[in-house]
């Protein structure tokens, strides 16, 4: 888990750098600061469980174990990208790992996750579907419709609100009449929990319980993880709507530093091992950039590929 969090942090720092150098285009939403949420929850899953991501999903797809090289190549828009260069930063997919995509529409993933939950139940399986979304999504109609439907049918879906306090530049208190999400969700007759999104072990412990509940047919569940993105909404956002002090307050509670201290305190890791992991991850990230840079752009005929699965 430590390794995954460091990988996400370094990968995202590199993505930001590559964006500034114009190697990456379009919108690019970094996950820095939120690492513990994806890693804590996804590490509690089995490989046959499903994950529905958001447009801030680089961290989520790295957490399911997808190849950093293929992800970086996708950001670079190359043929070797995880979505063959057709998706970009917001649309990373990995069917082999049941990662059902980054979704560029706020709240758009919730009804789909409900459908995945329905399919799991239809087949009599005991998998779960984890659906990530942000605090901005809770005021979409899709949120209401999906939560009601999932709760009505008791589907094995875990709705995870990554509450980073801002929907783009709008603070939660300026957007939600009832900012306390657990209170809102209680109206759907759904179990819910609130967790510190900077505390990996707390998230993991809660996730173990919630996943077990959903596997046992006692879903759906709602998890609110209070977290913080250190960067702006996207690379195009200087984040002038919040103070430096606020950002600093959160940085003190950095999820990676907290977990690192816990590991050191428990004698589970040494400073030397930390340095080793750091060097190793830097090499992985550098290699992903090298791979992306050396990969070809998609062939011209790829323009027309994959419009229809029937091939027309």
Smallest distance from the beta carbon of 226 to another protein, in angstroms? Answer: 27
Q: Is 163 near another protein (CB under 8 A)?
A: no
Record the tokens describing residue 200, joined without a space: 């990996």
Smallest distance from the beta carbon of 119 to another protein, in angstroms? Answer: 4
By beta-carbon proximity to another protein, the closer residue of 123 and 244 is 123
Task: Give percent helix, percent strand, percent coil of the chain, each to the nearest 5.
Answer: 50, 10, 40
- In the region spanning residues 132 to 151, those forming contacts with another protein, defined by CB under 8 A, are 141-142, 145-146, 148-149
Q: Is 108 near another protein (CB under 8 A)?
A: yes
Q: Is 310 near another protein (CB under 8 A)?
A: yes
By beta-carbon proximity to another protein, the closer residue of 16 and 115 is 115
Alpha-carbon span 167 to 17, nearest angstrom: 24
Q: Is 111 near another protein (CB under 8 A)?
A: yes
Alpha-carbon span 256 to 262, nearest angstrom: 10
Smallest distance from the beta carbon of 222 to another protein, in angstroms? Answer: 16
> Of residues 18, 34, 114, 207, which one binds another protein by CB under 8 A?
114
For the beta carbon of residue 246, count every other beta carbon within 10 angstroms: 12
Q: What SS3 state is found at 181?
A: helix
By beta-carbon proximity to another protein, the closer residue of 108 and 167 is 108
> Of residues 64, 100, 200, 214, which one binds another protein by CB under 8 A?
100
Q: Is 93 near another protein (CB under 8 A)?
A: yes
Q: Which of 104, 171, 109 is nearest to 136 (CA)?
A: 171
From its phi and psi, is residue 165 left (phi > 0), alpha (psi between -120 and 50) or beta?
left
By beta-carbon proximity to another protein, the closer residue of 53 and 197 is 53
Alpha-carbon span 278 to 191, nearest angstrom: 39
Smallest distance from the beta carbon of 230 to another protein, in angstroms? Answer: 28
Alpha-carbon span 127 to 157, nearest angstrom: 9
The answer to whether the Cα torsion of 279, 272, 251, 91 is positive or negative is positive
Judged by the rule CB under 8 A, the positions of this chain that interact with another protein are 50, 52, 81-88, 91, 93-95, 100-101, 103-105, 108, 110-120, 122, 129, 141-142, 145-146, 148-149, 152, 305-310, 312
């Amino acid at each position: 888990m430590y390794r995954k969090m460091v990988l996400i942090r370094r990968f995202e720092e590199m993505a930001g750098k590559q964006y500034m150098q114009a190697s990456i285009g379009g919108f690019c939403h970094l996950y820095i600061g939120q690492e513990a949420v994806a890693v804590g929850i996804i590490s509690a899953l089995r490989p046959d469980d499903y994950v529905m991501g958001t447009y801030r999903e680089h961290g989520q797809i790295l957490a399911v174990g997808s190849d950093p090289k293929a992800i970086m190549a996708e950001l670079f828009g190359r043929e070797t990208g995880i979505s063959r260069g057709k998706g970009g930063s917001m649309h990373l997919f990995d069917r082999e790992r049941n990662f059902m995509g980054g979704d560029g529409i706020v709240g758009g993933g919730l009804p789909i996750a409900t459908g995945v939950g329905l399919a799991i139940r239809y087949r009599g399986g005991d998998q779960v579907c984890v659906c990530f979304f942000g605090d901005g999504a809770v005021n979409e109609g899709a949120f209401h419709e999906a939560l009601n439907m999932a709760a009505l049918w008791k589907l094995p879906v875990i709705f995870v609100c990554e509450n980073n306090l801002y929907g783009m530049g709008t603070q939660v208190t300026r957007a939600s009449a009832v900012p306390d999400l657990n209170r809102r969700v209680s109206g759907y007759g759904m179990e819910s929990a609130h967790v510190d999104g900077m505390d990996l072990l707390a998230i993991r412990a809660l996730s173990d319980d919630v996943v077990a509940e959903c596997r046992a047919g006692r879903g759906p569940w709602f998890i609110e993880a209070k977290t913080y993105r250190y960067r702006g909404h996207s690379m195009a956002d200087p984040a002038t709507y919040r103070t430096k002090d606020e950002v600093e307050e959160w940085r003190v509670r950095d999820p990676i530093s907290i977990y690192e201290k816990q590991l050191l305190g428990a004698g589970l890791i040494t400073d030397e091992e930390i340095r080793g992991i750091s060097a190793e991850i830097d090499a992985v990230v550098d290699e992903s950039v090298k791979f992306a840079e050396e990969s070809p752009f998609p062939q011209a005929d790829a323009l027309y590929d994959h419009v229809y699965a029937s091939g027309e």
